[in-house]
């Protein structure tokens, strides 16, 4: 760099650069450092590592043979003397003449350490969530035959963990309870609530095998209320008891707005297993859940689902809907094909948990 240009820089810019807390150095086109500001000079005197760095490292855009890169501002992050710096290297043009590079070193150690801590925390949280998801998946019943019930299920959480749950509980050799539940919200909180529901329902029927569906839901609501949560929380549930001796299903509904569908094999008719009842909540008073009893015949099929299945949307933001689900179920009568129909309809990211379960009944 010509002496006249150096003198011009000194006269015009150096007082400003010397007043900066950031480190500043100017390198001429040959790679020679022709200026460092006062802050960098003081730091260099205290750190041999910094001095070595400055001697051995040229700005990326200066060392590039590509003119387009050379004439572009380059930003990179480096660890120097155990601290993190954002280094911004910009070309200097004076009277349209390329005269070198000015580098500004900004200490970003605090911000970087916060990012590292946040990354580590997020990674730890993701590990925990994956563990919870694995546990949650393992608590769902296996696809197999339970007495006169042939059960299969599909569980697709929208995030890493879900607020959906279905389960089957053996009461005795001739009676099994089946329920499906949908907890408000998503994530770890909702997932933990599903585990509470599972443990509670099993315990209720273990201690009270004579309970009807309504009694079981009322006792579940009582246990939920005893948690004494500070914030409003709720879940919905449909619960039924299969009696193999009588070939009947008695059920109650606690606010579950996705009534199961039944396909009656003997007349090829589809119907909904409706039931009235409030959701289970820590702020809503307990309800009296009505009970409905129906007869079951050989190869009758029941489809259970949560709202994620019918609220799946296509590219036009139209929901899959209850009518499509009913049509698919009554047509295919196979869980896999029902899910494939939902999957084919859906476009974009899954917004809600999708849980489907199907029971095929074998009459005594």
Question: pLDDT tens digits, residue range 323-352?
Answer: 999 999 999 999 999 999 999 998 877 777
Cα 241 to Cα 176, 212, 244, 313, 351: the distances in Å are 6, 8, 10, 33, 32
Question: Span 263-269, mean pLDDT?
Answer: 91
Task: Classify residue 60 as exposed, middle or buried by CB count within 10 Å of its CB (0-12, 13-18, 19+).
Answer: middle
Confidence of residue 7 (pLDDT cuts 50, 70, 90): low
Q: Which two tokens stand for residue 279?
A: 């959701």
Helices (H), 208-350: 213-225, 307-310, 321-332, 335-345
Cα 263 to Cα 114, 167, 252, 353: the distances in Å are 57, 21, 19, 24
pTM: 0.69
10: pLDDT strictly greater than 60? no
CA–CA separation, 11 and 20 (whole Å): 16
Residue where the block lists tokens 């035959």: 145
Q: End-to-end CA distance of the chain, in Å? A: 99
364: pLDDT strictly greater than 80? no
Are the C-beta atoms of 149 and 242 separated by less than 8 Å? yes
How far from chain centre, in Å, is Cα 295? 41
Comparing 61-65, 179-183, 325-329, which segment has the lowest mean pLDDT? Answer: 61-65
CA–CA separation, 337 and 343 (whole Å): 10
* Helix H or strand E segment including 164: strand 164-172
DSSP 230: S
**Buried-exposed string 196-206: b where 16+ CB fall within 10 A, e elsewhere:** bbbebbeebbe
* Helix H or strand E segment including 145: strand 144-146
pLDDT at 34: 86
Are the C-beta atoms of 70 and 102 separated by less than 8 Å? no
């Amino acid at each position: 760099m010509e002496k006249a240009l150096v003198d011009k820089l000194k006269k015009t810019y150096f007082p400003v650069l010397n007043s900066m807390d950031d480190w500043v150095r100017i390198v001429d086109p040959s790679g020679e450092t022709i200026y460092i500001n006062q802050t960098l000079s003081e730091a260099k005197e205290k750190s041999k590592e910094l001095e070595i760095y400055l001697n051995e490292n040229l700005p990326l855009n200066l060392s590039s043979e590509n003119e387009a890169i050379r004439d572009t501002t380059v930003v990179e992050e480096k660890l120097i003397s155990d601290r993190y710096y954002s280094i911004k290297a910009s070309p200097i043009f004076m009277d349209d003449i390329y005269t070198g590079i000015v580098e500004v070193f900004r200490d970003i150690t605090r911000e970087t350490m916060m990012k590292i801590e946040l990354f580590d925390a997020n990674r730890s949280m993701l590990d925990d969530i994956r563990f919870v998801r694995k546990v949650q998946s393992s608590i769902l019943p296996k696809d197999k035959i339970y007495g006169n019930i042939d059960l299969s299920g599909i569980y697709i959480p929208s995030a890493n963990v879900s607020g959906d749950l279905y389960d089957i509980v053996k009461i005795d050799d001739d009676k099994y309870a089946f329920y499906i539940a949908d907890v408000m919200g998503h994530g770890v909180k909702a997932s933990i609530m599903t585990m509470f529901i599972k443990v509670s329902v099993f315990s209720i029927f273990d201690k009270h095998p004579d309970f009807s569906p309504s009694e079981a839901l009322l006792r579940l609501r009582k246990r939920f209320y005893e948690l004494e949560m500070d914030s409003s929380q709720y879940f919905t549930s449909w619960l039924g008891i299969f009696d193999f001796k009588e070939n009947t299903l008695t059920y109650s509904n606690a606010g579950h707005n996705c009534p199961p569908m039944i396909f009656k094999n003997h007349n090829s008719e589809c119907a909904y297993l409706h039931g009235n009842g409030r959701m289970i909540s820590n702020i809503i008073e307990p309800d009296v859940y009505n009970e409905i009893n129906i007869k079951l015949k050989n190869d009758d099929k029941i489809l259970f689902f949560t709202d994620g299945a019918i609220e799946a949307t296509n590219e036009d933001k139209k929901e899959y809907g209850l009518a499509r689900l009913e049509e698919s179920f009554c047509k295919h009568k196979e869980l896999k094909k029902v899910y494939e129909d939902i999957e084919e309809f859906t476009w974009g990211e899954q917004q809600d948990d999708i849980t489907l379960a199907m029971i095929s009944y074998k009459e005594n």
